[in-house]
Amino acid sequence: MKIFLAQQNYHIGNFEANTKHIIGAIQEAKKAGAELAVFTELSVCGYPPRDFLEFEDFIQQCEASINQIKAHTSDIAVIVGAPARNPKAEGKDLFNAAWFLYQDEVKAIVHKTLLPTYDVFDEYRYFEPAFEWNVISFKGKKIALTICEDIWNLGDNPLYRICPMDQLMPQKPDIMINISASPFDYDHDEDRKEVVRLNCLKYNLPMFYCNAVGSQTEIVFDGGSLVCDAAGKIVKEMKYFGEDYCTIDSSQLTVDSLQLTGESSTSTVNRQSSTEIGQLSAVNGQPIMLEKDMRVKKIKDPHMIIPYLTAEHNIAQIYAALILGIKDYFSKMGFTKAILGSSGGIDSAVTLALACEALGAENVRAVLMPSHFSTSHSVDDAVALSKNLGNPYDIIPIKNVYDSFLDTLSPLFKDLPFGIAEENIQSRTRGNLLMAISNKFGYILLNTSNKSELATGYGTLYGDMAGGLSVLGDVYKMQVFALAEYINRDREIIPRNIISKPPSAELRPNQKDSDSLPEYAILDKVLFQYIERREGPKEIIALGIDAALVKRVLKLVNTNEYKRNQFCPIIRVSTKAFGVGRRMPIVGKYLG
């Protein structure tokens, strides 16, 4: 059977565009001689639709789109993802479903069994899990059709109590097809390939794995759809961070036996789960151990944390994800132009370079707003950067505005010493100017704060924390430095002085970030272990990091939740980003 995989970028709730895109791919599949075209999870409405699913009109439009697509299946079968109604009164009203369309009819509807409810996922809020499992017979073959999370319940400590493929195997399927919306993080592609491979080995079947691509606000989908034969060998790996299509004949993918030397395939995967699954990734030859269902990686050697975070493969993926995140946020929202504050520091420099690559340099406006605490080289560096990039820029000194604030406040401030209030007035002055230009000319303000700053509260609400989209909010400071080097891989775009000088907010004389925070190479180790790895203070101190420093940093993280709660959407590139995937109470005492 010739199967066509369509890895497409959808727009949540844009039924007309999504349906047209799907039908266009069906026509391409027909030209390629395919008998079955496969699309991704919830492709009709886009993923994740979230509370749109609570609107009857939204579900009706999903069904209308299915009817339109169905009319193009007289001579080709199609698998698309869309919600399906639950006819039973008990349970949720909807299923997350894969629709099998053929001969202008709905031939079968498969319901998702394993509904992820962790990190950015909240599927059990909306969907009922499947309660029956059946293969789909087509062209003399039996298809085991599953949806995303349904193939992830492997390993020694499975997250769910049931495995859909185990339910389907007694019906003797010939091939597995999985439609997915599996989000990007900077090493998830290796996990994903391993999961597909282990499913093929466990069930002795080939798999067609079709994953979503594109960015939906903060969540980036990187594609990387796969076709594996029954021996777990990757036959086709599709493009990352872009749309792609392929046609593969399933008859070329089967093998008669894996020669399991007397062991069942299930026992083999259990044995592999403690060896191969346990060591999917490595840094400089040191294995990174995986825990619960391959979602939490532990780095045992503390000296390997920063090399892991800044590894070239990870940085290259982060770069591509951020470009796609910016591009799709603007295009899907109907925006065309961006603005940001360019300070001559590395965060704004990297943000500006990324935005110019994503949107075109002519569409990104940099505003330099020096104060009397700004060094001359900061302005020079920022100007040099914009000249290298070719983007428009303006220089607006803030001294007069800042002085007017102080004059206005002097009856209240009296002779109190200079402090954080005066520092933050500078930052909020800049935020006001940027938002005024944004309102006047229709720009979207890009925020330049990094994850290390957001974690510790090293930012000013309504000042440098202002913005419509956070580009670097899930990127640690050490990764920002690595991104700058990556951007300069072919030529110097970001001036060397921006990368080499000590980071500073320049809100008081001779200020350095290190006056308020630990050195970033140490800080990022602590933050990574606490935020991504959910390690407690005892475990982090056991890595050889000073106990007082660890306790201070964790207190900063927890007591600054109120700031992050008011922050703009953050493009997610890690396993645990601030925002929808990390839900912490604002008022709490834990480690505070």
By annotation, the residues acting in catalysis are 41, 112, 148
3-class secondary structure per residue, 191-255: HHHHHHHHHHHHHCCCEEEEECEEEECCEEEEECCEEECCCCCEEEECCECCCEEEEEEHHHCCC
d(CA 592, CA 582): 17
Radius of gyration of the CA atoms of the chain, in A: 26
- Cis peptide bond N-terminal to 518, omega within 30: no
Residue 198 region by backbone torsions, left for phi larger than 0, else alpha for psi between -120 and 50, else beta: alpha
Q: Could you tell me whether strands 141-147 and 136-138 are parallel, antiparallel, or unpaired per DSSP bridges? A: antiparallel
Closest CA to 95 of 87, 107, 106, 103: 87
Q: Judge contact between 156 and 50, C-beta under 8 A.
A: no
Q: Judge contact between 203 and 164, C-beta under 8 A.
A: no
d(CA 259, CA 261): 6
For tokens 């003797």, name the residue: 172
- Tell me if residue 572 falls in helix, strand or coil: coil
d(CA 164, CA 133): 7
Q: Judge contact between 42 and 96, C-beta under 8 A.
A: yes
Q: Judge contact between 392 and 366, C-beta under 8 A.
A: yes
Q: Phi then psi for 446, rounded to 5 degrees?
A: -90, 130
**Terminal-residue alpha carbon distance, the chain:** 60
Tally the C-alpha atoms within 13 A of residue 50's C-alpha that lie toward its C-beta.
Answer: 7
| Burial group, residue 500, by CB count within 10 angstroms (0-12, 13-18, 19+) | exposed
Q: Judge contact between 239 and 7, C-beta under 8 A.
A: yes
Structure tokens at 187: 């090493």
Q: What angle do CA 244, 249, 251 make, to 5 degrees?
A: 150
DSSP per-residue string spanning 98-154: EEEEETTEEEEEEE------STT--GGGTBPPP-----EEETTEEEEEEEGGGG---
Q: Judge contact between 69 and 62, C-beta under 8 A.
A: no
Beta bridge partners of 146: 178
d(CA 151, CA 228): 14
